[in-house]
Amino acid sequence: MLDIKFIRENPDIVKQNIRNKFQDGKLPLVDEVIALDAENRATMKEADDLRSNRNKISKMIGALMAQGKRDEAEDAKKEVGRQGARLSELEKKEEELAEKIKSILMTIPNIIDPSVPIGKDDSENVEVKKYGEPVVPDFDIPYHTDIIDNFDGIDLDSARRVAGNGFYYLMGDIARLHSAVISYARDFMIDRGFTYCVPPFMIRSGVVTGVMSFAEMDAMMYKIEGEDLFLIGTSEHSMIGKFIDQIIPEEKLPYTLTSYSPCFRKEKGAHGIEERGVYRIHQFEKQEMIVVCKPDESPSWFDRLWQNTVDLFRSLDIPVRTLECCSGDLADLKVKSFDVEAWSPRQKKYFEVGSCSNLGDAQARRLKIRVAGEGGRKYFAHTLNNTVVAPPRMLIAFLENNLNADMSVNIPAALRPYMGGKEILTPKKK
């Protein structure tokens, strides 16, 4: 959410940013919110003047009564009453205008970083760098659910009967592998100095609207009927919400946290065979990382966060690449974002396994997360988030890249302590 003062003083910058995000339908909102802000400031000034005048008249009434000027005192009382009625009208108008202004501010997109490439959608995202050598083996790699089924590791039919499409049962070695990846990712981030956290898996609406745009909220979140609670789509939501309405002493920054949670998402509009199985689902688990820091430190933290994910995937023998999201692919709160994509030998292309985002002060401004700096100066913190690992999608990349011709799966050395020392998984079916 942008500062209304910034919009008022830089309308052309805000409008160009909207054009860069190919959201021209929002252009009229800039002039509208500036006009509403002017009206609101005029209303507040009139209200302040009335309060000051009422106080003066109220003080006069006692003096008039003491002088025996009852008629004048009664006239003054009537004037106080009239001004009181007008003040009530103005206060109500202030509330209405403030709500309209807030609604528009929540809709105008954040100012993107100058380095972000301009493009309409994800087809115009830009590859930054590849890590590891993509390999296509000389044998056919089955669809990921078929690989998992070779280990008696998945039951989609039972999941459909229990919960519907978009859910799954993981079983045996595959379930253990799933948990091993999460545990390894947890320890990987702890070793890099992050504090481990298990957050609430439900959050209030005030936190939801603080961490994401209305469009994201509608597309992702599940509402708990009859309660002001939503199931989280990622632990970033409750982790950033942890700091709501807080004033953080500057010396405590940065906060670097890594959090585990289940994630719940509507995942509307999934298409294609590669997005079936366990690729795009309503429930999964994830290890996340978030940073709350000083504004001048957020660019360097952004680079460190996505590098963590690259390093983790490479430690498991999975080739990856980083992809910079173009302007049209950035959610409205984001300043800059990289996707980390893993190599799929089956598809002979990369696919998304994580996303790293710098949100500037957008979430902090919405949630009132401020920092107490030197000399009593207060300012909004910057927030960042990144996926460490999100199985079962990550399992697709893991299984395909560690699969042998006999359908057994190699366990990289880094993961063996979490798999009881196993070096290879042998399929139960031939």
Mean pLDDT across 206-223:
88
Pair type for strands 247-249 and 370-372: parallel
Pair type for strands 409-410 and 424-425: antiparallel
pLDDT number for residue 231: 96
Q: What is the CATH number of domain 122-425?
A: 3.30.930.10
26-50: per-residue pLDDT in tens? 999 999 999 999 999 999 998 888 8
CA distance 68 to 121: 78
Tokens of 193: 């100095």
The band of 251, judged by pLDDT with boundaries at 50, 70 and 90, is: very high
Amino acid residing at 96: E
Cis status, amide bond into 262, omega within 30 of 0? no
pLDDT number for residue 271: 43
Cα separations in angstroms, 86 against 28, 57, 93, 270, 303: 31, 15, 11, 55, 55
The band of 56, judged by pLDDT with boundaries at 50, 70 and 90, is: confident
Domains of the chain, residue spans: 4-105, 122-425
Tokens of 1: 């959410």
The band of 269, judged by pLDDT with boundaries at 50, 70 and 90, is: low
Which residues make Cβ contacts (< 8 Å) with residue 223, sequence separation at least 6? 229, 230
The band of 247, judged by pLDDT with boundaries at 50, 70 and 90, is: very high
Examine the pLDDT at 61 and tell me if it is beyond 80.
no
Mean pLDDT across 184-200:
98
pLDDT number for residue 215: 78
Which residue has 């800059």 as its token pair? 336
CB-side neighbour CA atoms (13 Å) of 91: 9
136-180: per-residue pLDDT in tens? 999 999 999 999 999 999 999 999 999 998 899 999 999 999 999
Burial (CB count within 10 angstroms: exposed 0-12, middle 13-18, buried 19+), residue 91 = middle
Of 349 and 267, the structure prediction assigns the larger pLDDT to: 349
The band of 84, judged by pLDDT with boundaries at 50, 70 and 90, is: confident
CATH of 4-105, one of 1.10.287.40, 1.20.1630.10, 6.10.140.120, 3.30.750.24: 1.10.287.40
386-430: per-residue pLDDT in tens? 999 998 889 999 999 999 999 999 999 999 999 999 999 999 876
Assign 70 to helix, strand or coil. helix
SS (H, E, C) 97-121: HHHHHHHHHCCCCCCCCCCCCCCCC
Which residues make Cβ contacts (< 8 Å) with residue 157, sequence separation at least 6? none
CA distance 306 to 386: 7
pLDDT number for residue 213: 83
User: Considering the chain, what is the average pLDDT of its residues?
Assistant: 92
pLDDT number for residue 79: 75
The DSSP element (H or E) to which 163 belongs, if any, is helix 156-163
Of 249 and 84, the structure prediction assigns the larger pLDDT to: 249
The band of 310, judged by pLDDT with boundaries at 50, 70 and 90, is: very high
CA distance 417 to 84: 73
